[in-house]
A and B are shown apart, each in its own frame.
Chain A
Amino acid sequence: MTEKLDITLTINGRDHAIKVEPRRTLADAIREDCGQTGTHIGCEHGVCGACTVIVDGAPVRSCLMFAAQAEGKKIRTVEGLANDHDLHPMQQAFMDHHGLQCGFCTPGFLMLAVGVLEREPDISDEDLIDVLSSNLCRCTGYQNIIKAVRAAAQEMRK
């Protein structure tokens, strides 16, 4: 084991002062050290996208980033999407279109889609499916996820 680092992670606007090994992944730090378990870990090798969070405005795989690399950056996770009782349009669209079944991949899809649509609100349909194909879902067959993201994109443009 190596010496631990003192770092501060800013998650959904709140600072978390934590002590971590340099090798600790951002995903583990968010979940274990900061207690935000809404971000899920599905493969730990950057393929499934369940651990997707938004770092400084861009969706990233938090299993492929070290916690220490995220210091000083703005991290957003699924816990920060809803405004108290009001769901984010993306969350609402997933509910309306039955875009989730077991819900394990859902936080990753929500953060991926929100992150991309905030940067590219007018993304083409083809590019959108390209983006969504970077995460894996094993329950829905994707069609309802695509419908939900399209509907949310319209809502977010308003």
Chain B
Amino acid sequence: MKTIKQLLRNPLSLTGFVLLLFFAGVAIAAPWLAPPARAWEPYRIIQCGFSPTPAPPGDPNPFRAIAKVVTGQATLCQVHPFGTTGEGQYDIYYGVVWGTRTAFQVGLIITGACVLIGVVVGSIAAYFGRWVGEIVMRITDVFMAFPFLVAAMTIAAVLQPKIGRGLVTAMIALIVFGWMTYSRLIRGDILAVKERDYVQAARAAGAGHLRIILRHILPNAIFPTLVLASMDIGSYVISFAALSFLGLGAEIGYADWGQMLSFARNWIARLNEYWWIIFYPGMAILLFVLAWNLVGDALRDVLDPRLRGRITV
């Protein structure tokens, strides 16, 4: 309770929470805010017509246009509140709204999977003696010898012809190279906890390895890792959108902010006319990541001052 009060008193973290709540609201309300044309594939962005050039927002006031869509006075293709992308004529408002769901999914799934792998690997390395630990950590070193995005790009390029272009491919690519920081952090914390008296007591009482790790060690060692993970969600969203932007993530026309931004690459000489192609998806991703970073920073300061000043990439 005290923690929450502390978090809400800080204007920066309050901003972060409000932004996150807003995005969560948009994600939940997506079917009402932007009614899908085909209910069975809502993540396919609605396409309006065949014109080769981006269509401008249908109303100078985007809120009025959105209100018209929500109340059913006009269809998305009549007003397109945020304009369209050019070739494909994808409606940007639709993509931004449903892209919020994609961003939450991507950020939480990647972070969750990375933490899980990191905790398993780190626990094995820390708990089972010097030799196992040494070998596991050297393998971790090999993973860390790759520049993150370059490595993810390589994996995505190999997986694409095998399982196709899409969310799963890019998420696997990012998870394969995302877990190492957690395994290192938790290993250090477990090594510290491992020799405590209550762990020795549990061992003397005849508890098994799994029980000792799960019941006695992890609950006392996992906190810093979770705080670190909350700070990383934003950067995973950025990395995923980067893969999409390069053409290695979500397929064309999927409601994903990075994929939508890649349309802007065709119009770089005329971005002053077609500003909406980058403005809306760009703002969405910036604010989303900023929200997570603000909340993550605040959580760290309150819950684990030890990590203060620690930098993660």
Decide whether A and B are members of one complex: no
